């Protein structure tokens, strides 16, 4: 399968490229990204055959259908990384919380967030491709807290790859920050910047497309790529768990094969939701995808009005920092898929220059056929966390936003909902402790211990050990200094 450009072709880049090319250089003409030229189509028979497949078997067959240019051995090695999740036989538990609400837990990997679902195998695939080509890569990652740790974890000590991770100073939880600043492998560099996540992501996109920066790297025989979900190598792995979660409901007799469900996704850069959108297009019986946001509710307004409006907006710090995003990258792939490259280029360029765009009525109708959206304030989130805990379910603040969307977005109450839990509560313990006790906790470690007692659970060792590790990554700099700091690291 080939990949084509969301904003059309500039006459210099190739019109269509392979998967391996798309993951090695993810930016396309006019600042666009790559999207699949077509998608595989799965019949109910395919789904029926996989009701009892384990995660890796399903993943292998879905990836095979994409016909990507990665050899079987590499894919098998990449998928074997799911064996390192809490339960190798079931890396994605799907838990019934209410009669018609199931939570698919995507956070059972090494860094306790859903980013591991894609970044674990992606890291393996990308470094294998780099090694086969005998090329060296610098991988940039901008993070609002979870991509960073997951990218560092997957690439540490990998051959032919160095990683620079940018995060907003003060924009992450203690645990998220410790996961990054205690990494000590020689091929990893973590940089904290004065600014918010959008600043970090914009800096990343500017570097990816900067001729000067790319030329500087070329002289050192290094090429540049990115670990964010602009990279389709992430998205492909994020189609699989939507199918898997659906099949789990069928297997456990919660739905009949073919019965439609709602997917409900806590969204930031829209990678997770895009995976659900592709799964639906590939034939998964999904009625609609519900997009949950926090008070940074650009996506809610976009889906409800067709206006993507960043004018006079600033990122608000919330208790679900992984969703503190205004410029949601993967909306571009939806626009491209629904309205084509010319229109996407026009809309995205308008967003760059005028900070907003407005869809037509007809376009909005298409969007709303597939998506509905709502947002959840921090206070509402605390309430949802408390309520779910009364039903014996402990969840993170990102997952809580789904519970609001579950309350407000369903139009057919007879259908079941699969909501996605994107992080383990341990990464945001002061918020959870506040929801459960009403008290404020300044330090993650105190909150962790408190919850562990109240809920009578043990805390994952990957989290506890962070508090005793040495801090090795200390750079905190201005946006303007990023390029120089990276070049210093490389030499
Ligand atoms: C990354 C992340 C999200 C947002 O996912 P997108 O794919 O960027 O929309 C939500 N919750 C958590 C915990 C995350 O780490």
Do 212 and 224 contact (CB within 8 A), yes or no?
no
pLDDT band at 453 (very low <50, low <70, confident <90, very high): very high
Q: Separation of 81 CA from ligand 1 center, angstroms?
A: 21
Q: Is the CB of 422 within 6 Å of ligand 1? A: yes
Q: Is the CB of 306 within 6 Å of ligand 1? A: no
Q: Is the CB of 423 within 6 Å of ligand 1? A: yes
On the question of pLDDT at 360 being above 90, the answer is yes
Distance CA 52, CA 66 (A): 21
Q: Separation of 241 CA from ligand 1 center, angstroms?
A: 14
Domain count, the chain: 1
Concatenated DSSP letters of 358-415: E--HHHHHHHHHHEEEEE--HHHHHHHHHHHHHTT----HHHHHHHHHHHHH-S-TTS
pLDDT band at 491 (very low <50, low <70, confident <90, very high): confident
On the question of pLDDT at 205 being above 90, the answer is no
SS3 track for 101-168: EEEEECCCCCCCECHHHHHHHHHHHHHHHHHHCCCEEEEEEECCCCHHHHHHHHHCCCCCEEEEEEEE
Domain membership of residue 201 (yes or no) is no
- % of the chain surpassing 70 pLDDT: 100
Query: Which of 153, 265, 322 should be mutated for ligand 1, with most atoms under 8 A from CB?
Result: 322
Domain membership of residue 401 (yes or no) is yes
Query: What is the average pLDDT across 85-114?
Result: 97
Domain membership of residue 490 (yes or no) is no
pLDDT band at 151 (very low <50, low <70, confident <90, very high): very high
* Confidence (pLDDT) at 229: 85
Domain membership of residue 488 (yes or no) is no
On the question of pLDDT at 167 being above 90, the answer is yes
For all residues of the chain together, what is the average pLDDT? 96
Run of H or E including 225: strand 222-226
The pair of structure tokens assigned to 45 is: 């028979």
> Which sign, positive or negative, has the C-alpha torsion 309, 315, 316, 321?
positive
Query: What is the average pLDDT across 398-422?
Result: 98
Backbone phi and psi for residue 232, each to the nearest 5 degrees, phi listed first: -65, -20
CATH number at residue 244: 3.40.50.1100
The pair of structure tokens assigned to 207 is: 């570097």
Query: Which of 109, 167, 267 should be mutated for ligand 1, with most atoms under 8 A from CB?
Result: 267
Query: Which of 107, 114, 197 should be mutated for ligand 1, with most atoms under 8 A from CB?
Result: 114
Distance CA 210, CA 225 (A): 12
Q: Separation of 102 CA from ligand 1 center, angstroms?
A: 18
Q: Is the CB of 323 within 6 Å of ligand 1? A: yes
Domain membership of residue 170 (yes or no) is no
Domain membership of residue 246 (yes or no) is yes
pTM: predicted TM-score of the whole model, two decimal places: 0.96
Per-residue pLDDT of 380-396, as tens digits, reads 999 999 999 999 999 99
Q: For residue 266, give the ligand 1 atom closest to its CA.
A: 10
Q: For residue 115, give the ligand 1 atom closest to its CA.
A: 15
On the question of pLDDT at 59 being above 90, the answer is yes
Q: For residue 114, give the ligand 1 atom closest to its CA.
A: 15
* Confidence (pLDDT) at 332: 98
Question: Tell me, what DSSP letter sits at residue 94?
Answer: E
| Residues whose CB falls within 8 Å of the CB of residue 346, separated by 6 or more in sequence, listed in order | none
Domain membership of residue 29 (yes or no) is no
Concatenated DSSP letters of 205-224: HHHHH-HHHHHHHHHTTEEE
Domain membership of residue 37 (yes or no) is no
- The domain of 321 spans 75-114+234-467
Rg (CA), the chain: 21
């Amino acid at each position: 399968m080939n990949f084509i450009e969301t904003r059309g072709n500039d006459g210099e880049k190739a019109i269509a490229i392979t998967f391996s090319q798309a993951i090695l250089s993810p930016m396309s003409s006019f600042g666009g990204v790559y999207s699949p030229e077509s998608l595989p189509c799965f019949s109910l028979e395919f789904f029926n055959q996989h009701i009892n497949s384990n995660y890796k078997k399903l993943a292998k067959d879905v990836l095979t259908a994409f016909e990507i240019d990665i050899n079987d051995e590499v894919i098998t090695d990449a998928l074997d990384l799911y064996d390192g999740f809490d339960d190798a036989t079931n890396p994605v538990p799907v838990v019934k919380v209410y009669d018609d609400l199931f939570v698919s837990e995507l956070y059972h990997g090494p860094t306790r967030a859903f980013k591991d679902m894609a970044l674990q195998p992606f890291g393996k695939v990308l470094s294998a491709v780099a090694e086969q080509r005998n090329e060296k890569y610098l991988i940039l990652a901008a993070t609002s807290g979870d991509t960073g740790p997951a990218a560092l974890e997957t690439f540490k000590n990998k051959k032919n790859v160095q990683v620079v991770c940018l995060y907003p100073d003060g924009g992450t939880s203690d645990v998220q920050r410790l996961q990054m600043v205690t990494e000590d492998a020689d091929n990893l560099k973590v940089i904290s910047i004065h600014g918010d996540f959008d600043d970090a992501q914009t800096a990343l996109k500017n570097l990816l497309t900067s001729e000067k920066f790319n030329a500087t790297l070329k002289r050192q025989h290094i090429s540049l790529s990115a670990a964010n979900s602009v990279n389709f190598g992430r998205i492909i792995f994020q189609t699989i768990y939507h199918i898997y979660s659906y099949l789990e409901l069928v297997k456990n007799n919660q739905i009949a094969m073919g019965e439609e469900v709602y997917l409900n996704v806590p969204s930031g850069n829209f990678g997770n939701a895009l995976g659900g959108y592709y799964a639906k297009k590939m034939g998964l019986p999904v009625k609609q995808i519900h997009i949950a946001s926090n008070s940074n509710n650009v996506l809610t307004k976009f889906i409800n009005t067709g206006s993507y409006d960043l004018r006079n907006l600033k990122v608000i710090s919330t208790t679900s920092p992984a969703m503190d995003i205004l410029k949601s990258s993967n909306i571009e792939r939806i626009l491209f898929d629904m309205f084509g490259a010319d229109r996407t280029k026009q809309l995205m360029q308008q967003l760059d220059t005028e900070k907003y765009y407005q869809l037509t009525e007809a376009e909005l109708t298409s969007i709303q056929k597939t998506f509905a959206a709502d947002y959840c304030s921090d206070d509402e989130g605390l309430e949802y966390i408390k309520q779910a805990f009364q039903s014996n379910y402990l969840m993170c603040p990102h997952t809580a936003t789904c519970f609001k969307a579950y309350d407000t977005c369903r139009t057919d109450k007879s259908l079941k909902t699969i909501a996605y839990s994107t992080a383990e509560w341990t990464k945001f313990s002061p918020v959870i402790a506040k929801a459960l006790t009403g008290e404020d906790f300044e330090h993650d470690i105190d909150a962790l211990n408190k919850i562990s007692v109240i809920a009578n659970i043990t805390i994952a060792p990957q989290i506890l050990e962070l508090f005793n590790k040495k801090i090795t990554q200390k750079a905190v700099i201005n946006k303007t200094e990023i390029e120089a700091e990276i070049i210093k690291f490389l030499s």
